[in-house]
Structure formats: structure tokens, C-alpha cells
Structure 1
Amino acid sequence: MNQLALIALAVLATTLRVFVLIVLSIVSGWLLGYLAFKNARFESFYVSFIEVLESVPVISFFPIALIFFVNRIGGVLGVELAADFLVFTAVVWNIWIGIYQAYKTIPKEMLEVVENYGLGFFGRLSGLFIPFSIPRIVSNLFPSVADGFFYITVSEVFAVGSTSYSVFGIGSLLQNYLSENEWKLVYASMLAMALVIVATVFALREFSALAVAKYALDTDVPIMRRGRVRIRYSVLFSQLVSRNPLHKLSIYQWRSVIRRAQQTSFVQTKAKNRFQKVVRYGVFSALISLVLLIAYGVIEVLVTIPLDQWHSLIVSTPSLLVDLAFDYARVSVIALVSLVIAVTLGYYLAVNKSAEAIGIPLIQVLSAYPAPLYFPFVFALSFEIVRSSLGPLSVEFYVVLLGFVSTFYYVFYSFWMGVKSLPHEYWEIMKNLRLGFFQRIRKIVLPASFPYLISGISSTINSAWGGLMLAEYWPNIVDGKTLTVKHGLMKVVDLSTYTGNVSQAAWGSFIFGIVVVVYSLLFTKRMMDIARKRYVAEEGIYAA
């Protein structure tokens, strides 16, 4: 087959995987969100399930995917499902949270309308719940697509011990070209991926504009928020970005409700009730199956570990915690640099319309382009200069750099959206008082956008681990060189997987998951509570 045609097919396969998984996330989110909306007991389980697993990075699921899909199912199907499962766990929580939040903020008057017209399960979903969730979905598409492209190119080819697994796509094809030193084909592959990324970003921008124009609430700005919004604060988010929540949507909804009401009986038959129960139980069973799948992978690892090996794993725990401390130091640097860039560049773009029109699409394209594809070239072109300048710290520079480019956009877009959502009264005050840049940032902009910053920083920290895992142990990154650090938990997990020591990789992931969940519950919850109580921008307007 012609190599250019093969490259085109590989790019198409990779892109198709990402969007199929995003569509699957959206459809499952509609059903699960509705079930959580209607059932309080399931809602409690659903919210806790999402919040815990959202805070656990994708790499923690790798041993589970490896054991269940590769070892148990096996073959081409098992490897394909393993790759898809890892990407699914990267994009699904963001979308599920957005849909759930949209359902929870549906105006009471609209819920009464569908109740009065006696619409059934699908009538309610298609007539009210799905249209109301579309603006929140499109606001989460950009980070989901960026995460999807990042992890799909990494998961398309992976090795466990001496065994290498791959699925057809641009990630595996590029790996083959690099191993064969086919540099022209490497450049052609990267160019083809860049063209697809640019087309995808601009298509999503157009789709977002159309979707928001048709379905969105009345807002001062289009909904284009990057990063994960925490469930507990959906009301706060609605206060920050919305006004008159019934205007545009109610026009559409009344047309939709009246049209469906003409075809729907006020009294549902027993057959319809039974069908709705079957659908609800089916959705609930699907979520339980996902939980059981994760539990199965964990148990499968545990039962295969000999008793004498348990001793060595437990003894290694202090060393793993030290490695994790090194990683948190790297993540802290990434978060700090991302925050500084977000505050300066985000503010500049928010107040400069001409720069914003160019800068935002450019950043969207750069953030969506998979870093694992171009980073080896960055390393090759800059290695000698960086090594001569930084010496032993050059490795740390590249590790932090890869972590940064894979996650900085979360806090950047969160802060940018926070600045765009400031009430106009604050801008008038800053202008009348002739406040300078630093005074504006310190006294008004940072406090008013604090909820956005906390959400963005939390997402940045949670998403930095994928870049660290790739950078802390990258054999043969270019010209036989291996990028590796001396201390790092992501290196331990990655190296253990590479050498076939799945039990050590699973134990490291287990320790890591516990620490991350504790961090999320203690730090993120505390900061968001402070943001909700002390830094609500509208309260200053109301008080005045």
C-alpha cells in the first residue's frame, strides 16, 4: 500500500477512536445523569464514584486494562479494548460531570412542563434534558479531545516485558517509522496529524458556536470553559456565567414540548413503564459493570501475587512514597509555571479582542496536538544546548516541560473564562480608579476568578501525571538516548510495566491512587469551600 495512503488511514483511525469514545461518553452520560437525577440513592453513589475516579489519573488504570483485556480477552480485540479503555477513562469524567451539572440546573418551571404533559422517558430526554445539556457538553469538548489525542497516541503501542502490543493508528505507525529511520514518512505523519488537529479544532469551534446559539442560556460570553467543574459548585458556576436562564432555551423547549405533546398520551401504559424500568436498570447495570471491571482487575492482581512477594511490596512502600514526593515537587513546578502563564497571558487575551481572536485558536490547536508525537524532535534539537546550560538538571527540565505542555491549558482556560465572566461593574470600578495591572490582578481579578483558578489548578495537577509517566522513563527517545530520572513514582510504574513486573506496577498505582484521592478530598474541597464562601463575584454587586 502507498505509504501516504497508509498515513491517512492511520490518522483517520486514531481520530475515529477519539471521537467514538467521546460520543460513547456523551450517550452514557445522558442516561446515567438522568438516572442520577431521578433516583437519590443512585445519585449519591454516582457523584461519589465520579469524584473519586476523576481525581485518579489515567495511568492508575493501566494494570487493570493490561490484566483484563490483554491477558483475559487477548488477541487483536483485547489490545484494542485495552487502548480504548485507557482513553475512555481519560475523557469520560469531564463529560459526565458536565451533563450531570446541566441536569441539576434545569429550571423548575421546565420540569413542571414535562410533568404536566406526561412525557415519557425518551420524550423527556430528547425534549428537555439533552438540549439543556448541550452547551455544557460543548464547553467540555476541547479538553476531552486534547486528553483523548494525548492518551490514544501513547496507548496505541505499549510493551510489557519482552512483549509489544499495538493497534493500528498514527501512534503505532510513527513508532515503526522512527525505528526504521524513515524520517520523510515521520514528517509526513506529523504534518497529516497537524492538519487533522487544525480541522478538528475549527470544526469544534463552529459546532460550539452553533450549539450555544441554539441551546445556550443567556450569557455575557460563549461557553468555552476548559477544565473540570466540580459537582458541588454547579450552582456557583451558573451564577458566574449566566443571566436569565429561561429566555432562549424556553423558546426552543416550548416548541419541542408542544410538538411532542401532540403525539404523547397523558397516561402512560404499563408497557411503557416496564420499558422505562428496563432502560434504567440497563444503564445502572452498565455502570456497575464498569465498577466490577475495575474491581476485577485489582483482585486479579492481588490473587496472583505470592505471599513472599507481598513482603517485598510492603517493604518498598516507603521508597515509593519518597519517589511520589519527588513527583509532587515536579507537579508543583508545573502548576506554578502554568498559573503564572495563565494569569498573565489569560488576562491579556481576555481584555484584548484582536489578540484573543488569534491566540485562543492557536492555543487550542497546540494543546490538542499530541505531545508524544513532537516531543522527541524538541528533545533532539535542544538537548545539547540545554545540557550545556543546565547540566544535571537538564533531565528535570525535559520532564517538567513535557508535563507542562500536556496540562497547562486547564488552568489557562479556567482563568481566561473567569476573567471573561467578571461583571462589567468591576471593569468600570477598575477603570474609574485607574488601577494598574498588578493592582487589578491582586485586588479584583484574582479574588473574583478564584473559583475558576482552583478548578483549573486541580485539573492541571490531576492531568500532569500522564506527561510525567511518559517523560520519567522514555527509552530510545531519539538516537538511542533514554530520558529517565533517578527518583519518581511514575518511573517505577512505567519501568515495572516495561520489564513485565505487573505486581510492582499495580502496587505503585495503588499507593498513588490513595494519595491522590486524599489530596483531592483535603486540598480541592477545602479550597473550593473557601472560594464559594468568600470569593463569589456577584456578591460584591449585590452588596453595593
Structure 2
Amino acid sequence: MYGGLIIAAAALATFARVLAMMGLSIVTGWLLGYASLRSRGFESAYIPAIAVLESVPVIGFFPLVLIIFVERIGGPLGVEMAADFLVFDAVVWNIWVGIYQAFKTIPRDLEEVADNYGLGFLGKMRKLYVPYSIPRIAANLFPSFADGLFYIMASEVVSVGVHTYEVFGIGTLLTEYVAGGQMAGIYYSLLAIGVGVAGFMTLFRYFARASVAKYGLDTAAQIRRRERPAPRLGSSAWVTLARPMRRLSRYAASAVLASVARPVRSVSGRAPRLARAAGYAIGIAILGYIVYSSYRLIAAVPAATWSELLSDTPAMLYALAVDYGRVAVITGASFAISVLAGYYLATHVRASAIVIPAVQTIAAFPPPAYFPLIYMATYTYMEALPGGIGAEVYVFILGFLSTFYYVFFSFWMGVQSIPVEFWELMDNYRLGFWDRLRRVVLPATLPYLVSGISSTVNSAWGGLMVGEYWPGVVPGRNLEVNVGLMKLLDVYVSQGYLHRAAWASLLFGAVVAVYSLLFTERLMNLSRSRYVVEEGIFAA
């Protein structure tokens, strides 16, 4: 009984830690997303920074965590802050991307109404930006919660050489039970995680449906209330508008009728200019610090070491290209499965009520915890495949299980957010499944897909780092691919070649930043300019 209480308390501590960091991610995401709208310079630095930092596995932040929190702050507070920072790093990036993408796709009509009525920062956030971002936040709660649990053992227990730093949580108990071979404790801990995951995923799913119904622009999802019958699916009344959205729509109508009696208040351009200048100043300061730090680092490295690193660069870039090929395959498979399964589940409520909680629960369990069982049951068959194909299959499985839910849940929420008028239009034209996808569903959900795909691409590297080089995946056996940058990083660190690992990480970060500028930011701007489905309501 005493052990059961300890396990339950540890599970609650872990869940509280993850939920607190998710709440902090949402609040900071609102502030940073608004700043990116007001300053082009800040936006140009913000998106690449998210892409680079999101791509760095949580393990890569261990040195920073140890220096700042454990050594300088120290004590239980420093260790707790270190664990919280690692959990925050696991949950924050896709929430920030989702909020930024939501702010970028707000219909211009609503923004103009807010400007004409002279709403300030707090007024715009309370009545427009925050309500409009709620569905996107709801779509990202599932993967964020899963990511937080994915790294519970790495965040709650940090081992460096002979030193071990830990905080109270289910990850700490699991580490102790595994080290001591206490199978009963392991099973009960996994059961506690499963019960908590099932409960929180049920709450997240209800919140997701309620947020779409309340804050979406006339979607097909409805909230049934006892005091009135549920509206029909074909009704064209705007019964699901959020109160802030509905209020702004009324403002827009009354502004046209009262334009003669009351002039529209002009908006001063001083605040946007100040915000823009501040954003550029912050960006220049960050760039200057990076340049100065880079100069000091370059000057401290001997010429012989630079010659060695430059000679290794072609091999590193080739390994990075191979890894991008793996990421492309994982992303393509996630996209195809998400579109087919997500559309079906979004349009079939009964199947969704069964499948979605199951997928959410499975996604929340960390794949490295149960992957050795898969490897043990199949490695004799995989090793018979020629050319290291078996290892590639294992890496694909790890990467897919670690990231597929980004695209899946984003697309599933996007389909539910399509306004009901578009569903009526597709029914009236009797469009088939493929015509619906090509002409309406995929264009309408592009903002959601951009967010999900970018998070999938940027987060797949954690699965690759685990799978490309895993000594002792089961007793007496190693999992290892032939070529891969994540493998090189693991090998360099394990063999003590830290200068090579640092150089490979720098090349990796530079390529990710270029990818973000050429792909993520452009697609988000495209989705804002051409694929905001809610603007079709106003155009009609």
C-alpha cells in the first residue's frame, strides 16, 4: 500500500510538472507570437530560432542545464529548475509554432475591425488573438503532453559521470526500479502512467472539440446544450462563434451602418514602428552576440584542429543529407496516413470516439521504453535483409512513432475546423473523396498541415539520434546504421571527440536555419495569403 501511494504521488508530480510547463509555453507563445506580428525583424529571427532549437534533442541541453541551474543555483531548487527546463524544452516548440501560425492566419477583416475600434494590446489579445489561437493550441496539447512524457526519465534523472541529479517523479522511480530489477514496481509505474495518460487525453480531447465549437468560425462541430436543441449540420446560422469573435463581427456590421454618424477612429502608426524598431534591435543584439561568441571560439581553436574539422566536413554533410532523406520518408508516411485516417475520423464521430483516445494514449508512451521488446521479437528476421535494410526499418519505426502524431492531430483538428458552409457546398456538388481532398480539405487545412509538418521534420531528429546508434538495445546486441549525422554525434560524444561533435552540431544548426527560412516561413506566409478558409465566410 505504501509503495502504491509513492507511485501515485510520483505520477502526480510528473503530470503536474508537464502541465505547468505546457501552461508556461502557452503564455510565452502568445507574447512572442504577437511580437512576431509587429516586427518583421523579430519574426525573421524568431522562426529560425524555433526551428533550430526544436531540432536539438533534449539531451543536447544537458551542459547548459548543468552550468546554469545545477552548479550556479544548486540545491534542490537548482535541480528542480533543471528538470523543469528540460521538460519545457520538450513541450514548448510545437505550441509556439501553432500559436505563431494561428496569429499569422487571422482573417484581415477581424484585424481591421480591431484596429478601427482602437483596441490596444490587451484588448486585441483578449478579444481576438487569444480566442483565435485556442483551436490551434488544443491541436498541439496532444503532442506536447506526449513529448513531455517522452523525456520524463531524461529530465527527472540527469547522470553525468559519477554524479546523478534527480527530482521526485515517476521517471525517477522507474529508473530505480529498472536498476534494481523490481518488475512489480515497473509494472505499477507503467500502469500509473497509463491511467494518467488516459484521463488527461480524455480531457484534452473534450477541450479540443469544445474549442473548435466555441472559437471556430461556424464549423460543423457543435456543443450541445440542454436548454436548446442541437443545431442541424446544415444550418447556416453562426451558432458556434466565440463571444469575442461574435462581438467583433457585430462591430464590423455596426461600423458600416454608423459610418456617417460616427467617424472611424484612426490608428496611430507610432506603436507598430516602436515595436518594429525594438524587434530589429533585439535581433541585431542577438546576432552581435552570436558573432562575437563565434569569433572568440574560432580564435581559441588551433589551426591543426580547424584543418581536421574542415577535412571531416564533406562526410558530415553527406551524413546530414542521408538523415534528411530518412526524415523525408518519415514525414511522407506520416502525412499520407494522417490525411487518410484523420479525414475518416474527423467525419465519423463514433469511430473517432474510440480511435482518437487510443492513439493519444499510445503516442504518450515513450517509444524507447517498449522498442527493445519489438527489436527482440524481430531482429532475427531483420538481420536477414541485405545492405543494412533492417537497421533502416528500425530507425524508421522509432522516428515514425516519435513524430507521426504532429501531423495527425493537426490535420484532424483542421478538418473539424472547416466551416459548415464548405461541407454544404461539397455535399451540394456531390464531390467524391479525392475531389474533396484536392479542392477543399487540403487547401483549407494547409495552415494546420504546415504547423504539423514543420514540427514533424524538426522533431524527427530525436528518434534518429536514438535509433541510429544504440549500443546494448538488448543484451548482447547493438542497433547501428551505416551512415547518419546523428550516429556521428553519438559516436563522437562516446569516444570523447567533443570538438567534432560541436562542429557537426554547428553545421546541423546552420542547415536547419536555412531550411526554416526557405520552407517553414514561406509556407506559413503562403497559408496566410491564400489558404485561410475562414476568410471565405467573409468573402461570401
TM-score bracket, normalised by the shorter chain, equals 0.7 to 0.9
SS in 2 for 1:406: helix
The structure-2 alpha-carbon separation of the partners of 1:246 and 1:419, relative to structure 1 and needing over 3 Å to count, comes to closer
Aligned AA for 2:14?
T
Q: 2:324 aligns with which of 311, 321, 328?
A: 328
Q: Match of 1:483?
A: 479
The structure-2 alpha-carbon separation of the partners of 1:170 and 1:32, relative to structure 1 and needing over 3 Å to count, comes to same
Q: Match of 2:253?
A: none
Alpha-carbon offset, residue 531 of structure 1: 6.1
SS in 2 for 1:56: helix
1:139-288 paired onto structure 2 within 5 Å = 139-157=139-157, 166-210=166-210, 217-221=217-221, 248-249=243-244
- Indicate if the aligned counterparts of 2:410 and 2:449 stay in contact, CA closer than 8 A: yes
Aligned AA for 2:380?
E
1:107-122 paired onto structure 2 within 5 Å = 107-110=111-114, 113=117, 115=119
**Residue 456 of structure 2 is aligned to residue 457 of structure 1:** no
Alpha-carbon offset, residue 196 of structure 1: 1.2
Deviations 1:62-104 (A, max 9, x none): 6873333313552555555444334323433433344456666
1:5-404 paired onto structure 2 within 5 Å = 5-33=5-33, 40=38, 43-58=39-54, 60=56, 65-71=61-67, 73=69, 74=71, 75=74, 80-100=80-100, 105=106, 107-110=111-114, 113=117, 115=119, 130=130, 133-157=133-157, 166-210=166-210, 217-221=217-221, 248-249=243-244, 305-388=301-384, 392-404=388-400
Aligned AA for 1:92?
V
What is the distance in 2 between the residues matched to 1:472 and 1:382? 17
Aligned AA for 2:334?
S
Normalising by structure 2, report the TM-score: 0.74
SS in 2 for 1:482: strand
- Indicate if the aligned counterparts of 1:55 and 1:520 stay in contact, CA closer than 8 A: yes
What fraction of aligned residue pairs are identical, expressed as a percent?
45
Aligned AA for 1:505?
A
Q: Match of 1:4?
A: 4
SS in 1 for 2:181: coil
What is the distance in 1 between the residues matched to 2:32 and 2:536? 37
**Residue 454 of structure 2 is aligned to residue 470 of structure 1:** no
Question: When the two structures are aligned, how many residues end up with a matched partner?
Answer: 492
Moved more, 2-11 or 365-374: 2-11
Alpha-carbon offset, residue 165 of structure 1: 5.3
SS in 1 for 2:473: strand
What is the distance in 1 between the residues matched to 2:535 and 2:118? 33
Q: Match of 2:256?
A: none
- Indicate if the aligned counterparts of 2:216 and 2:242 stay in contact, CA closer than 8 A: no
Alpha-carbon offset, residue 489 of structure 1: 1.0
SS in 2 for 1:483: strand
Aligned AA for 1:343?
V
Deviations 1:37-74 (A, max 9, x none): 6xx4xx22432233112222545376873333313552
Normalising by structure 1, report the TM-score: 0.74
What is the distance in 2 between the residues matched to 1:534 and 1:134? 22
Aligned AA for 2:317?
L
Moved more, 160-169 or 292-301: 292-301
For structure 2, list consecutive stretches of 5 or more residues without a partner in the other structure.
Answer: 224-236, 250-277
What is the distance in 2 between the residues matched to 1:300 and 1:369? 43
Aligned AA for 1:202?
T
What is the distance in 2 between the residues matched to 1:200 and 1:301? 46
Aligned AA for 1:358?
I
SS in 2 for 1:220: coil
What is the distance in 2 between the residues matched to 1:79 and 1:295? 31
- Indicate if the aligned counterparts of 1:153 and 1:171 stay in contact, CA closer than 8 A: yes
What is the distance in 2 between the residues matched to 1:293 and 1:162? 34
Alpha-carbon offset, residue 25 of structure 1: 1.7
Alpha-carbon offset, residue 145 of structure 1: 1.8
Deviations 1:322-379 (A, max 9, x none): 2112211211221222122123222322332321222222222222222233323333
The structure-2 alpha-carbon separation of the partners of 1:102 and 1:462, relative to structure 1 and needing over 3 Å to count, comes to closer
Moved more, 407-416 or 147-156: 147-156
For structure 1, list consecutive stretches of 5 or more residues without a partner in the other structure.
Answer: 224-241, 255-281
Alpha-carbon offset, residue 163 of structure 1: 5.9
Alpha-carbon offset, residue 407 of structure 1: 0.7
What is the distance in 2 between the residues matched to 1:211 and 1:125? 17
What is the distance in 1 between the residues matched to 2:471 and 2:286? 33
Alpha-carbon offset, residue 321 of structure 1: 1.0
